Amino acid sequence: MLKTGVAYHGNRILKHVETDLVDIINHNFNLVVHMFTHNDWDRHHKVMKDIFDMTMEKGLEMWVDNWGIGGPPGDKSHFLAYYPEAHQVYSDGTNDPVRACYNNENFKKFTREWIDIVYECGGRTIFWDEPHLVAKDFKDGKPTRWTCCCNVCKKEFKNRYGFEMPASYTIEVEEFRLNSIVEYFKHVTQYSQSKQMVNTVCVMLGDQIGINLKSIDAICSLPTLQNIGSDPYWIGNKTMTPYEYVYSGTKKNIDICTQFNKDHNIWIQGFGIPAGREEEIVYATEAAYDAGARTILFWSYRGAESNTYRCANPELAWKIAGDAMRRIQDRDRDNNLNAFRAKVDI
């Protein structure tokens, strides 16, 4: 089945949610990715259950995003107000103000509790959104400041390698950072799978330091992770056409998923689209389909109209997104019909 999905966030008023879900269906989407923030947990979890129920009653598939529970992408982490010692720490000793350390046991416990409340509200597929550690101030291709160098991570590093964490960005540091993310996701996805939940993830496409399509083997090998995706957002790329950029990124993602026998998800940019470039949404969506993607998602609802990073013309971007999804749905139906016809020798 071709899955066409859209990210939905910024509204918790049920009357408007129902109207929006009908709008989503009318724009040819059959899957919704709902954000579930710490604030949703504290203030809206009964409303979130109603939203989840309403989504499924409309016949839409539903994924739940861990939006900002440990910091960006998404909201700033409220968890750190309760556990100030759990901040990610840069290599120069300064705290990252909004991101939690993956190796902190309290953060792992907090994530398990978040999984519990998502399950209680009816969520059965978790979408782990762009896991990464921060790196800044690059020189000769390497960061001069990075996380995490908190006391927990320094102790873990010494236990693993037998010497103190170095002040420079070495191969061991890079390996340790990747392993920190993988071990966190191994822990939390084992827990969610024990509740019969499905785990999906989106990783960064480019050369950012963290988990990306160049260093994804370790996380792909986790048996508790069923679906690996990426987001080939083309705005800002100056070397390829939108079609070429999205096709190339999607093909890499699909090849990795095939290698590890995983399902996939590919995101189409629906935010920050400049005026006059809205048609590129169609070209990008077609590129993802041509490269083999059959779970294609759009960030986000109505061209991110409720966000500062919205498209220049959100209404137009949203209309064209619906057109793009209809085009690939029609193609998919035609492909299926041709296969059925071939079997009966019409």
Q: Residue 100: pLDDT band by 50, 70, 90 thresholds?
A: very high
Domain boundaries, the chain: 3-344
What 8-state DSSP symbol labels residue 273?
Answer: P
Q: Give the relative orientation of helices 280-290 and 242-260 as an angle to the nearest 10 degrees.
A: 30
- For 189-199, what is each residue's pLDDT tens digit? 999 999 999 99
Per-residue pLDDT band at 331 (split at 50, 70, 90): very high
Given a contact cutoff of 8 angstroms between Cβ atoms, the answer to whether 238 and 230 are in contact is no
> Quick one: average pLDDT of 67-89?
94
The Cα 234–Cα 78 span in angstroms is: 31
Q: Residues 157-191: pLDDT tens digits?
A: 999 999 999 999 999 999 999 999 999 999 999 99
Distance CA 227, CA 219 (A): 11
pLDDT reported for residue 226: 97
Tokens of 105: 């046991």
d(CA 9, CA 15): 15
> Per the structure block, which two tokens stand in for 298?
């759009």
pTM score: 0.96
Q: What is the pLDDT of residue 345?
A: 77
pLDDT band at 81 (very low <50, low <70, confident <90, very high): very high
What is the rounded CA–CA span in Å between residue 196 and residue 337?
34
Considering the domain 3-344 in this protein, what is its CATH number? Answer: 3.20.20.80
- What tens digit of pLDDT does each residue of 252-279 get? 999 999 999 999 999 999 999 999 999 9
Distance CA 122, CA 197 (A): 10
Residue 210 has pLDDT above 70, yes or no: no
Q: Is the pLDDT assigned to residue 206 strictly greater than 90?
A: no
Q: What is the mean pLDDT of residues 331-345?
A: 94
Which of 107-111, 137-141, 203-207 shows the lowest mean pLDDT across its residues?
Answer: 203-207
Contact 178, 135 (CB under 8 A): no
- The alpha helices in the chain, defined as continuous H runs, are 14-26, 38-39, 45-57, 79-82, 105-121, 151-161, 171-194, 217-220, 242-260, 280-290, 301-304, 314-344
Cβ distance 69 to 108 under 8 Å? no
Interval 294-315 mean pLDDT: 97
* Closest C-alpha among 28, 133, 123, 20 to residue 71: 133
Closest CA relative to residue 199, chosen from 275, 267, 95, 126: 126
Using the predicted structure, report yes or no on whether residue 322 has a pLDDT greater than 60. Answer: yes
Average pLDDT over residues 111-115: 98
214 band by pLDDT with thresholds 50, 70 and 90: low
Question: Going by C-beta distance under 8 Å and a sequence separation of 6 or more, which residues neighbour residue 300?
Answer: 6, 7, 8, 9, 270, 271, 307
Residue 48 and residue 341 in contact, taking contact as beta carbons nearer than 8 Å? no
Contact 66, 95 (CB under 8 A): no
